[in-house]
Chain A
Amino acid sequence: MRAAVLACGLWLAVTPALAASSIPEDPLGSVMWETLYPEVFGTAPVVADDRVKVLAPADVENARAMPVAVDATALDGVQEIVIVADLNPFPVVLRYEPLKARPFIATRIKIQQATAVRAAARTRDGVWHMNGRLVDAAGGGCAAPPASYAASDWADHLGEVQARVWPADAAGTARVKLRIRHPQDTGLMAGVPAFFIDALTLTAADGTPVARLSPLEPVSEDPVFTLALDAPVPGSVLTLKGRDNNGGDIAASIPVPVKTAATGTVGVTP
């Protein structure tokens, strides 16, 4: 006890200068911000920016799969997008490098309790543009067993991919949607180790990587990702390659439709 008190005193003595000055304001007023800022952003500048749209429900109906979409297409030169659910046991949900794709991503994530859900997009100048919202939730999504464990054949379908590329819209953006069979265990369920997809890369027919994803524990079971590509060559084939944290391979070929007619637009219009 004495040692603990002494240690606390030491921390207080060491740090006063750092605190207020180096941490940007949190537009969401989250209690976790001062802890998360250095973990997620290091010392990089972060600004609140409405041009990053984060679409998530006010009330989370299914804590195991809350839809979230991040649209940073109003910014130029986005290098990376990060999604964070502050009060999850694993706050960082995923990191996304759009490479040759538009800075847009939609997925479903687990929510452990009511929390700030934020996304930030890093532009070429190293500045993170951040926005988000508070979501209310009954919670428990990170510690519940995947629904697929009710059946004994989950391992038979591990890594199976369903994917589709839609024809490009008038702006030359083609939506691609990926669904991968995987339990995405967080490691919080007793006796079940963490087991989740941690790398996905989408590659064009000419071998150029067009989008790179680094998902983490909070991405929902059987993850679904919607991305927005610069119109790929009609009739060509995209390649999806990835793996989980056990080294299990994920691989799929995704045909691009020949038809180029517009069927709507991609983006968040709240």
Chain B
Amino acid sequence: MMRFLSVFTRTTVSAAALTAALAAGTALAAGPTKDDLLGDTKSTGDVLTYGMGYQGQRYSPLKALTPDTVSKLVPVWSFSFGGEKQRGQEAQPLVVDGVMYVTGSYSRLYAVDARTGHKLWQYDHRLPDGIMPCCDVINRGAAVYGDKVYFGTLDARLVALNKDTGKVIWSKKTAEYKDGYSMTAAPLIVDGKIITGNSGGEFGIVGMVEARDAETGELLWQRPTIEGNKGTLGGKESTVTGVVNASWPGDMWKTGGGATWLGGTYDPETNLLYFGTGNPAPWNSHLRPGDNLYTSSTLAIDPNTGEIKWHYQTTPHDGWDFDGVNELVSFDLRMDGKVIKAGAKADRNGFFYVLDRTNGQLINASPFVSKITWAKSIDLKTGRPVYNDDNRPGAPTEGGEGKGKSVFSAPAFLGAKNWMPMAYNPDTELFYVPANEWGMDIWNEPITYKKGAAYLGAGFTIKPLYDDYIGALRAIDPKTGKIAWEYKNPAPLWGGVLTTAGNLVFTGTPEGFLKAFDAKTGKEVWKFQTGSGVVGCPITWEMDGEQYVAVVSGWGGAVPLWGGDVAKLVKDINQGGSLWVFKLPKA
């Protein structure tokens, strides 16, 4: 009897404690509105969007942390993603009403109390055995709107969950994972629409931008990125993308690639979505003479109709996997007494582009890495690269039997800058770009398209350019293209950048450090070892009058899988999977 009593007692008390906790806690908030999302850049108490604001500047007006005070920054808590599943953690967390929403590898989503690190709920998506992520089982973050939190999964589904309970509200199949599709980017929510890109550019898929009703998940419009493919609007066919066969031969456009695997940014001032598009498929460019629109481009898209308003192609007829998917960051370019609505993009091909974001006209393009072999320059009049024709990997030999002429090309296909987002600081008027210095031997091989199989037609191996570093965090002046300062890192940089009004720049390293730099001088002013490589995106926000910083830690991504000689350099980095949160100790 005594034993019975104690069992019962414990249960009753814990149930009572739970009830009390629920009553004492904040009432379940309605969640962010359209206006909240629009104001994310300026609001310091939350982080509601991937990019810390629609324009993707990753800039916070917070000033408590400065090059002087940051040296005292210490961890508040660390949260483990758990399980046996680790691999790359590339997410940017969100902070909403004191709750952090963060995604982990293998399509997992966590809600964590931002003050204590206590887990509120966790959603583990059940993945089929046959998923085909090209470049690790990563996810880049969630989106939040109203009572829902959203993320994409490796089996190409878009899932909406109740932000307070973690229960699935709806789940939509966006594409067939068996054909090579997946979804790794953070969704973008604009005016009640959830807008997503797709992944799978190595499998001959067709890139797509899609908008759904954020409430119901109902498809509103689709815009394929490859010319010749038809879009939809309101459930009906809309317009054809581009003009059939204008820049693609035969029916190659049906499997033309151009995946929008990084999602996009939005600019409320021009009411345009900016989506980067990936490499054309296959990699062997001799099979597809022409510019291959709209691969390796930035597309400006009307969020209401899905129509392309302008495009700028950074690598026409890409033959090096210079996938132009990199984010376009909107900013005010102050030049000659004028303010130009500009956008900047640090492309995988090694050039830093500044465009007029109202019409896609090129303003400036300059190299942001030390060695570019494929082009001499970008012609500012035509906006096109001046190619070095002999640096294009050769066609497979006559009859298509053997591999074509191999060339050494820089940057490597993993890019002068890959997925990891840069930051722009309107106070210093500098961009902070996580760059990598590497080249590759690349050659073409015969290939034919087979559904669901890798569609490359190329062989390659990556090589470092220098003995002492690969990664380089570079501060770039968009007015001149000049590099104001740089920080060199031995391993390739693979994490996002954050900058603040406190004159700081934060980024992580594969060696495991989250580091802070003086935004004006580049002097390293703080670092913390997180226990595994940092390839996520740091954020900062204010809570209870204090400035917090957070980043996920967990080594992985494309480098250990595709990095050739470089993969050997990083093979001893241990895996992980955790969320770290920092603040200054109370005085």
- Bound state CA distance, A61 and B11, in angstroms? 33
| CB-based contact A11/B130 at 8 Å | no
- Select B12's contact among A38, A187, A245, A248, beta carbons within 8 Å: A38
- Select B4's contact among A18, A34, A190, A245, beta carbons within 8 Å: A34
Chain A residues within 8 Å of chain B by Cβ, number: 31
Query: Quick one: which of A16, A31, A34 has the most chain B CB within 10 A?
Result: A34
Evaluate whether A246 and B168 lie within 8 angstroms (CB atoms) in the complex, with A190-B84, A191-B85 already known: yes
Contacts of A152 in B (CB 8 A): 129-130
Evaluate whether A15 and B126 lie within 8 angstroms (CB atoms) in the complex, with A191-B83, A246-B171 already known: no
**Interface 1/0 per residue, A162-202 and B, CB below 8 Å:** 00000000000000000000000101001111110000000
Evaluate whether A247 and B8 lie within 8 angstroms (CB atoms) in the complex, with A11-B13, A155-B130, A194-B124 already known: no
| CB-based contact A19/B170 at 8 Å | no
| CB-based contact B9/A12 at 8 Å | yes
- Bound state CA distance, A38 and B13, in angstroms? 12
Contacts of B7 in A (CB 8 A): 34-35
- Bound state CA distance, A266 and B451, in angstroms? 50
Contacts of A187 in B (CB 8 A): 124
| CB-based contact A19/B9 at 8 Å | yes
| CB-based contact B168/A8 at 8 Å | no
Chain B residues within 8 Å of chain A by Cβ, number: 27
- Bound state CA distance, A22 and B170, in angstroms? 40
| CB-based contact A246/B4 at 8 Å | no
- Select A35's contact among B8, B13, B85, B169, beta carbons within 8 Å: B8
A14 within 8 A of B: yes
A233 within 8 A of B: no
Contacts of A191 in B (CB 8 A): 83-85
Q: How far is the CB of B11 from chain A (nearest CB, A)?
A: 5
- Bound state CA distance, A248 and B128, in angstroms? 13
Interface residues of B in 1-56 (CB under 8 A from A): 4-13, 15
Contacts of A14 in B (CB 8 A): 9, 12-13
Interface residues of A in 219-270 (CB under 8 A from B): 243, 245-248
- Select B8's contact among A10, A15, A194, beta carbons within 8 Å: A15
| CB-based contact B8/A19 at 8 Å | yes
A44 within 8 A of B: no
- Bound state CA distance, A216 and B91, in angstroms? 31
| CB-based contact B128/A155 at 8 Å | yes
Q: How far is the CB of A199 from chain B (nearest CB, A)?
A: 11
- Select B126's contact among A8, A190, A246, beta carbons within 8 Å: A246
Contacts of A243 in B (CB 8 A): 168
| CB-based contact A193/B125 at 8 Å | yes
- The prevalent SS among residues of B at the interface is mixed
| CB-based contact A247/B171 at 8 Å | yes
- Select A248's contact among B13, B85, B167, B171, beta carbons within 8 Å: B171
Interface residues of A in 30-64 (CB under 8 A from B): 31, 34-35, 38-39
- The prevalent SS among residues of A at the interface is mixed
B94 within 8 A of A: no
B410 within 8 A of A: no
- Bound state CA distance, A246 and B157, in angstroms? 10
B159 within 8 A of A: yes
Contacts of B85 in A (CB 8 A): 191
A143 within 8 A of B: no
A68 within 8 A of B: no
| CB-based contact A15/B125 at 8 Å | no
Q: What residue in chain A is nearest B128 (Cβ atoms)?
A: A155
| CB-based contact A23/B168 at 8 Å | no
| CB-based contact B83/A38 at 8 Å | no
**Interface 1/0 per residue, B72-89 and A, CB below 8 Å:** 000000000001110000
Q: How far is the CB of A4 from chain B (nearest CB, A)?
A: 11
Query: Quick one: which of A34, A243, A247 has the most chain B CB within 10 A?
Result: A247
Q: How far is the CB of A6 from chain B (nearest CB, A)?
A: 13
- Select A15's contact among B12, B159, B171, beta carbons within 8 Å: B12
| CB-based contact B6/A8 at 8 Å | yes
| CB-based contact B126/A193 at 8 Å | yes
Q: How far is the CB of A156 from chain B (nearest CB, A)?
A: 8
| CB-based contact A195/B126 at 8 Å | yes
Q: How far is the CB of B170 from chain A (nearest CB, A)?
A: 6
Query: Quick one: which of A10, A11, A18 has the most chain B CB within 10 A?
Result: A11
Interface residues of B in 138-189 (CB under 8 A from A): 159-160, 167-171
- Bound state CA distance, A35 and B170, in angstroms? 34
- Bound state CA distance, A23 and B126, in angstroms? 39
| CB-based contact A185/B12 at 8 Å | no
Contacts of A194 in B (CB 8 A): 124
Contacts of B168 in A (CB 8 A): 243, 245-247
Q: How far is the CB of B20 from chain A (nearest CB, A)?
A: 13
Q: How far is the CB of B54 from chain A (nearest CB, A)?
A: 27
Q: How far is the CB of A132 from chain B (nearest CB, A)?
A: 19
Q: What residue in chain B is nearest A183 (Cβ atoms)?
A: B126
Contacts of B126 in A (CB 8 A): 185, 192-193, 195, 246
| CB-based contact B8/A23 at 8 Å | yes
- Select B159's contact among A38, A155, A247, beta carbons within 8 Å: A247
- Bound state CA distance, A248 and B155, in angstroms? 12
- Bound state CA distance, A4 and B15, in angstroms? 18
**Interface 1/0 per residue, B370-382 and A, CB below 8 Å:** 0000000000000
- Bound state CA distance, A246 and B158, in angstroms? 11
| CB-based contact B6/A12 at 8 Å | yes
Q: What residue in chain B is nearest A37 (Cβ atoms)?
A: B8
Contacts of A8 in B (CB 8 A): 6
**Interface 1/0 per residue, B91-119 and A, CB below 8 Å:** 00000000000000000000000000000
Contacts of A10 in B (CB 8 A): 13
Contacts of A35 in B (CB 8 A): 7-8, 11
Q: What residue in chain B is nearest A149 (Cβ atoms)?
A: B129
Contacts of B170 in A (CB 8 A): 247
- Bound state CA distance, A245 and B165, in angstroms? 12
Contacts of A19 in B (CB 8 A): 4-5, 8-9
- Bound state CA distance, A191 and B5, in angstroms? 37
| CB-based contact A34/B128 at 8 Å | no
Evaluate whether A247 and B169 lie within 8 angstroms (CB atoms) in the complex, with A12-B9, A15-B13 already known: yes
Q: How far is the CB of A80 from chain B (nearest CB, A)?
A: 21
- Select B15's contact among A34, A38, A154, beta carbons within 8 Å: A38
Contacts of A195 in B (CB 8 A): 126
| CB-based contact B9/A11 at 8 Å | yes
Q: What residue in chain A is nearest B84 (Cβ atoms)?
A: A191
Contacts of A155 in B (CB 8 A): 128-130
- Bound state CA distance, A89 and B225, in angstroms? 49
- Bound state CA distance, A67 and B15, in angstroms? 33
Q: How far is the CB of B176 from chain A (nearest CB, A)?
A: 11
Contacts of A246 in B (CB 8 A): 125-126, 159, 168, 171
- Bound state CA distance, A234 and B130, in angstroms? 43
Contacts of B128 in A (CB 8 A): 154-155
Q: How far is the CB of A82 from chain B (nearest CB, A)?
A: 18
Q: What residue in chain B is nearest A32 (Cβ atoms)?
A: B7
Contacts of A190 in B (CB 8 A): 84
Q: What residue in chain A is nearest B158 (Cβ atoms)?
A: A247
- Bound state CA distance, A245 and B168, in angstroms? 7
Contact sample, A vs B, 17 pairs, CB 8 Å cutoff: A10-B13, A11-B10, A11-B13, A14-B9, A14-B12, A16-B5, A34-B7, A34-B8, A38-B12, A39-B11, A152-B130, A185-B126, A246-B159, A247-B159, A247-B160, A247-B170, A247-B171
New A-B pairs, 11, CB < 8 Å, besides A190-B84, A246-B126, A247-B159: A16-B5, A34-B8, A154-B128, A155-B128, A191-B83, A192-B126, A193-B124, A243-B168, A246-B159, A246-B171, A248-B171
Give residues in B with beta carbon < 8 Å to A: 4-13, 15, 83-85, 124-126, 128-130, 159-160, 167-171
* In the complex, the 8 A-B pairs of residues with the closest C-beta atoms, listed nearest first: A247-B171, A193-B124, A155-B128, A195-B126, A247-B168, A34-B8, A11-B9, A15-B9
